[in-house]
Amino acid sequence: MVAELIHRPVAVIVASGGDQAVQAAKAATASIPIVATIAFDPVESGLVASMNRPGGNITGVSLFSTALVAKRVELLHDLAPNSSVIGFLANPSDPSAKADAKTAELAARAFGQRTIVVNAATEPDCETAFDSLKRQGVRALLIQSDPFFNSVATQLVALARRHSITVMYGRREFAAAGGLISYGSQLKSSYRQLGDYTARILKGARAAELPILQPTAFELVVNLKIAKEMGLMVPTSLLLRADEIIE
């Protein structure tokens, strides 16, 4: 798909929907400007030279997905403090999967919890992963922020409710679909920034000189209706920190 865009040719490529898209665009061209949403650390991964001056043909918005993993573990612990083990559902084809799983493991260890990692890259895999978590007695789960998981949100929410597992999600859409709790950056704001950068490049700005933007707004959403259905008491301290409560 990237090759098709390059051969047309296009003036700028917007790469979004997963880190694979960004990497594919980078591998295909070093001249066409690329504006991207980035989940992993763009400097550590070698995508750009620095956050302030990317230096190449790539710029965009860092979604802080990996950086937010530890915060999600903390919130999950607040919600299920008696869980001695937490699950982590990862997409093994996501370049950030290993780093995210390691971050979750270290964060859980600080609360005296151990982590069980299960993988899923297809809808049947999700069924298998939840069955495995259930057999191992996992009662609290963190789902990696990944485009595939976003596409099967309804299935994941249904599996969580079927198996009575307390699940922390990365996007508000999960909580709105019947998930228990979510925490992440506001995607509408990030995509608005993406559009602004694309417009600026079309008007002559250079990607190398446009700093990698970082999200300025994060939202914690609690679905109190689902919590009540599960017989789960949500701590008042957590409710007071919530940006939105669904009742």
69-184+219-246: CATH number: 3.40.50.2300
Cβ atoms of 101 and 86 within 8 Å: the answer is: no
Q: What spatial distance separates the first Cα and last Cα of the chain, rounded to whole Å?
A: 43
Q: At what angle do helices 153-162 and 123-135 cross, to 10 degrees?
A: 20
pLDDT tens sequence for the chain (247 residues) = 899 999 898 999 999 877 788 889 999 999 999 999 987 788 888 889 999 999 999 999 988 777 799 999 999 999 999 999 999 999 998 878 898 999 999 999 999 999 999 999 999 999 999 999 999 999 999 999 888 999 999 999 999 999 999 999 999 999 999 999 999 988 888 889 999 999 999 999 999 999 999 887 789 999 999 999 999 999 999 999 999 999 9
Cis peptide upstream of residue 95 (ω within 30 degrees of 0):
no
Residues 115 and 72: beta-carbon distance below 8 Å: no
Same fold, 2-64+186-217 and 69-184+219-246: yes
The reported pTM is 0.84
How do the domains of the chain map onto residue ranges? Answer: 2-64+186-217, 69-184+219-246
The CATH number of the structural domain formed by 2-64+186-217 is: 3.40.50.2300
